[in-house]
Amino acid sequence: SVPLAFFSGIGAGSKKGILFKGGASIEAMSAVNAVVMDKTGTITEGNFVVQEAVPAASGRENAGTNGTQGILTADGLLRICASCEQSSTHPIAASIVAEARKRGLELEKPDSLEEIAGHGIRASLDGAEILCGNRKLMDKFLVSIEGSRAGTFGSEVYVAVNQLYAGHIVVADTIKKDAKPALRCLKKMNVATAMLTGDGEESAKAVAEEIGLDEVRAKLLPEDKLAELTRIREKYGSVMFVGDGINDAPVLAGADVGAAMGSGADAAIEAADVVFMTSGVEAIPQALGIARSTKRISW
Ligand code: ADP
Ligand code: MG
């Protein structure tokens, strides 16, 4: 049976765009010791913008597909990458396609295509094998990317043509404005904070330093996130996970409390115990505050 007081908690939440799916989720949230968050779309806006396209410097005579023989131009690199990213729903893919369209580049449809979760895209374009994705994808297909510069901010999407590094595209996302104050609030509430991301070490560390997180884990595959969550739970006790992606559904279900951003994927919203309709980070301390005070008056 659910104490009557939980109904007032559900009401208080709904006024702030916090949808508790029943009294049990409020009760579980009142006991949370640590908040584990996804980066992209949860702590950051998830709206990537291309900063620059950097073709490989030299010596890549074979790194061109039909019509782009020889060393690629920045536009040539973008055209190949955007052609392969067209069918992806990943926010990084959307930013690359948007930049290509802005530059008026004509995109082609790949002959075949495979999206590798947490890695990127592998496609066949004009008879060439194209890879677009992170360092892990390049490692997986034995592409050497020596000579590319590692950026501190933003993520890099590496492009390879027939297993030869052809250049990289720098994309950057912005941290949500309320992330830093929300984390300060959580600290005051004695709640530990952690971020799990599939993104690279450098951009993860930059975000963590900017907003002040207790723990950060980068370069995680979707399946690694659940293992990390379990480790954090062993260390701190009851954990809430906040995410927004399709890939986040298993971690949401595996946490003591699963919360989804309203802007997120349907699968995440469905798997969650709580939904933050405003998609703001400040909803996290607000929800914990409501849950704690509801629990107090329910005695
Ligand atoms: P996050 O934890 O940031 O939500 P994802 O699992 O969605 O991570 O993606 C992890 C990483 O995999 C991204 O940061 C990116 O480097 C790479 N990636 C995934 N999908 C794509 C894609 N379609 N194009 C390029 N890179 C991708
Ligand atoms: Mg995500």
Ligand 1 and 42: CB distance under 6 A = no
| Model confidence, pTM | 0.80
ipTM: 0.95
> Where are the CATH 3.40.50.1000 domain residues in the chain?
5-45+176-297
- Over the stretch 264-291, which tens digit does the pLDDT of each residue have? 889 899 999 999 999 999 999 999 999 9
Residue 30 scores a pLDDT above 80? yes
Q: Phi and psi of 181, rounded to 5°? A: -60, -35
**Angstrom distance (rounded) from CA 228 to CA 272:** 19
Q: How far is the CA of 197 from the centre of ligand 2 (A)?
A: 7
Q: How far is the CA of 297 from the centre of ligand 2 (A)?
A: 36
CATH number of 49-172: 3.40.1110.10
- Options 3.40.50.300, 3.40.190.10, 3.40.50.1000, 3.30.70.920; CATH for 5-45+176-297 is 3.40.50.1000
Residue 204 scores a pLDDT above 50? yes
Ligand 1 and 245: CB distance under 6 A = yes
Q: Mention every residue, 6+ apart, whose C-beta is less than 8 A from residue 286.
A: 16, 18
Q: How confident is the model at residue 73 (pLDDT cuts 50, 70, 90)?
A: very high
Active site residues per annotation: 38
Q: How confident is the model at residue 70 (pLDDT cuts 50, 70, 90)?
A: low
> Where are the CATH 3.40.1110.10 domain residues in the chain?
49-172
Ligand 1 and 40: CB distance under 6 A = yes
Q: Which two tokens stand for residue 149?
A: 């510069």
Q: How far is the CA of 295 from the centre of ligand 2 (A)?
A: 31
Q: In which order are the strands placed within the sheet that holds 274-276?
A: 18-20, 274-276, 257-261, 239-243, 34-38, 192-196, 215-217
